[in-house]
Amino acid sequence: MNGRTAPAPADSPTSAARTTATPRVVVTGLGVIAPNGTGTEEYWRATLRGESGIGRVTRFDPSRYAATLAGEVKGFVPRERLPNRLLPQTDPMTRLALVAAEEALADSGVDAGQLSTYAAGVVTAASGGGFEFGQRELQALWSKGGDHVSAYQSFAWFYPVNSGQISIRHGMRGPGGALVAEQAGGLDAVAKARRHVRDGTALMVAGGVDGALCPWGWLCQTRSGGLSPQTDPQRAYLPFSTEASGYVPGEGGALLVLEDARSAAERGAVHVYGQIAGYAATFDPRPDSGRPPGLRRAIQLALADAEVTADAIDVVFADAMGLPGPDAVEAEVLAAEFGPRGVPVTAPKTMTGRLLAGGASLDLASALLSLRDQVIPPTVNVPDQAAPEALDLVTEGPRAAGLDCALVLARGYGGFNSAMVVRRAA
């Protein structure tokens, strides 16, 4: 299938802002750290094989909490991957982010010593910040007193900590900061980075790596109302299933290197995974308003931004919340926009859990890898589909397909909807 382009309608919000030469922004590097694999290729191999990283929480005894399953990153030894001086000042999720950023930059082939002259920047997605670090310092405060709080607390927990640490480690002096919209933030951060590249920043690291697998973070997450109470890892996170009972949280995510397509070509970038072609974000109206949720509009606006019509989309990476109501909304929206079973839909996050601000960025990485390898990763553990007439859910092993354009969806707790279109490099 071709990525057929359609002129944006005259009243499209994006058309007027476009000049004739909006620079194309491409992804030239990926760094992944996920419950089912550390590093892009290890993650991708596991994902195509349908290997799940979900299991009973091991970091603490989860027995007393309303949920006991998580996607934990395994076999990660921080002192083997990071300089010693960074360990006392970093939350576990920041350590994962630093390793993912290192991988993404190495993958891009950019000379790390040249980053400051690139005025490279970093935008990350966050949720609760460095929550485990924060729990330790709260414990010190309350059990021992204020003088026992670490000098690092002032920044180790805060929302943009990963951006700051990545910027410092790699000498990146361009725009920085963080966005928070729970799951949706993982796409919003990449979109913000795309705008910085369009404005002249040559290179941006963007995405989310997140997690809060400490008891205090866990208790907060169980109050989302969305966690599955199931204890069998194969029966817990079953989006679009008749037995959907909630989701499983996890840790990890992905960081991407974004560059202007022309400068990437000029420097002879090793990989061009694809173009960030379209994006939009919307917010749901108050539930009692009688107005429809914003997911479908986010999709339509993202397609318009990418200057494609729905039939150009070859695969959808669904938000797949795993709760009957939100799953039904997403299935209806996809069927309405693409036609019943009109496009393959998948949710590889059934193997990782939902990674707070990291999950949508990981889906974006998966979508780009799908474009590279012309294969759609599976959705695991969903034997009995709730809406088989609406969704062509990829539940078998990986499905080979001709893929030019992928759509990634993310919904954030509270009503955030984001959609992003990625297109295979020409």
Our CB check for another protein shows the closer of 377 and 415 to be 415
Q: How near is the Cβ of 175 to another protein at its closest, in Å?
A: 4
Our CB check for another protein shows the closer of 19 and 84 to be 19
Range 5-64, binding another protein (CB under 8 A): 13-19, 22, 60-61, 64
Query: Should residue 225 be labelled a site residue for another protein when binding is judged by CB under 8 A?
Result: yes
Range 185-224, binding another protein (CB under 8 A): 185, 188, 192, 195, 198-200, 212, 215-217, 219-224
Our CB check for another protein shows the closer of 3 and 217 to be 217
C-alpha span between 110 and 105 (Å, rounded): 6
Amino acid at 172: M
Burial code (b: 16+ CB inside 10 Å, e: under 16) for 83-111 equals eeebeebbbbbbbbbbbbbbbbbebbebe
Query: Should residue 246 be labelled a site residue for another protein when binding is judged by CB under 8 A?
Result: no
Number of residues in contact with another protein under rule CB under 8 A: 100
Our CB check for another protein shows the closer of 76 and 158 to be 158
Binding piece for another protein, criterion CB under 8 A, among 36-44, 158-166, 253-261, 269-277: 158-166
| 337 alpha carbon, distance to own chain's centre | 23
Our CB check for another protein shows the closer of 168 and 400 to be 168
Token readout for 43 is: 């993650």
C-alpha span between 333 and 207 (Å, rounded): 26
**Most distant pair of Cα atoms in the chain: their distance:** 64
Q: How near is the Cβ of 333 to another protein at its closest, in Å?
A: 15
Q: How near is the Cβ of 200 to another protein at its closest, in Å?
A: 4
Our CB check for another protein shows the closer of 326 and 348 to be 326
Among 34, 48, 172, 258, binds another protein (CB under 8 A): 172
Q: How near is the Cβ of 404 to another protein at its closest, in Å?
A: 25
With contact defined as beta carbons under 8 Å apart, do 328 and 353 qualify?
A: no
Our CB check for another protein shows the closer of 167 and 352 to be 167
C-alpha span between 340 and 334 (Å, rounded): 8
Range 97-136, binding another protein (CB under 8 A): 116, 119, 121-122, 126-129, 131, 134-135
Alpha helices per DSSP H over 267-322: 295-306
* H or E segment to which residue 147 belongs: none
C-alpha span between 110 and 119 (Å, rounded): 13
Query: Should residue 150 be labelled a site residue for another protein when binding is judged by CB under 8 A?
Result: yes
Per-residue contact track with another protein, 403 to 422, x per CB under 8 A? ---------xxxxx------
Range 56-95, binding another protein (CB under 8 A): 60-61, 64-66, 89
Identify the residue whose tokens are 């759609």.
376
On the 0-12 / 13-18 / 19+ scale of CB atoms within 10 A, 140 is: middle
C-alpha span between 325 and 245 (Å, rounded): 11
Distances (CA, A) of 356 to 93, 126, 172, 250, 337: 11, 8, 25, 7, 27
With contact defined as beta carbons under 8 Å apart, do 160 and 335 qualify?
A: no
Q: How near is the Cβ of 161 to another protein at its closest, in Å?
A: 7
Q: How near is the Cβ of 43 to another protein at its closest, in Å?
A: 26
Q: How near is the Cβ of 142 to another protein at its closest, in Å?
A: 3
Among 7, 75, 85, 143, binds another protein (CB under 8 A): 143
Which residues 6+ apart lie within 8 Å of 283 measured at CB?
A: 294, 415, 416, 417
C-alpha span between 106 and 166 (Å, rounded): 13
Our CB check for another protein shows the closer of 134 and 359 to be 134
Our CB check for another protein shows the closer of 47 and 162 to be 162
Give the number of other Cβ atoms within 10 Å of residue 25's Cβ: 22
With contact defined as beta carbons under 8 Å apart, do 359 and 352 qualify?
A: yes
Among 58, 154, 242, 374, binds another protein (CB under 8 A): 154
C-alpha span between 419 and 30 (Å, rounded): 19
Query: Should residue 286 be labelled a site residue for another protein when binding is judged by CB under 8 A?
Result: yes
Query: Should residue 167 be labelled a site residue for another protein when binding is judged by CB under 8 A?
Result: yes
